[in-house]
Amino acid sequence: MRAPASKTFSHASDDSVVAGAYHWSTLQSDRVSGDFTSQNWRDHTSTAGTISYHLFSFIVSLSTHKVMQDEISALRVRDKERQGEVSRLVTQITKLQCRK
């Protein structure tokens, strides 16, 4: 939990000390983010282990991936069929409404 800035710098007697502290922390944050981006985030030592753990914990076998691909393809075909049915129904409703 972060402390409010007024309490964090309550010991500071001058506004320039507070401004300097903010400036210093901003530069440190920029340096740290530079470390992450220079190593493409994934290769940074603080995240590489976490990402590797996640990938190996939730890895999907190729056979499972193939089954899922086939299921998605079948769902897309059925979706197109349903869209055609809806289009035909809309046409029929429009014709019925025009008759009234």
Q: What is the pLDDT of residues 22-43, one digit of tens each?
A: 888 888 888 878 877 787 776 6
pLDDT at residue 20 tops 80: yes
Where b means 16+ CB within 10 Å and e means fewer, 25-49 reads eeeeeeeeeeeeeeeeeeeeeeeee
pLDDT at residue 1 tops 50: no
Q: Which H or E run contains 3?
A: none
* Domain membership of residue 92 as a residue range: 60-100
Does 8 or 13 have the greater pLDDT score?
13
Q: Are 83 and 75 in contact (CB under 8 A)?
A: no
Question: Do 18 and 55 have their domain in common?
Answer: yes
| Residue 5 maps to a domain | no
* 10 half-sphere exposure, CB direction, 13 A CA radius: 5
DSSP state of 12: -
Question: Do 35 and 71 have their domain in common?
Answer: no
Task: Tell me how many domains the chain contains.
Answer: 2
List the structure tokens of 93: 């409703």
| Residue 84 maps to a domain | yes
Q: Taking the model in full, what pTM does it have?
A: 0.39
**How far apart are alpha carbons 54 and 48 in whole angstroms?**
10
Question: Do 66 and 91 have their domain in common?
Answer: yes
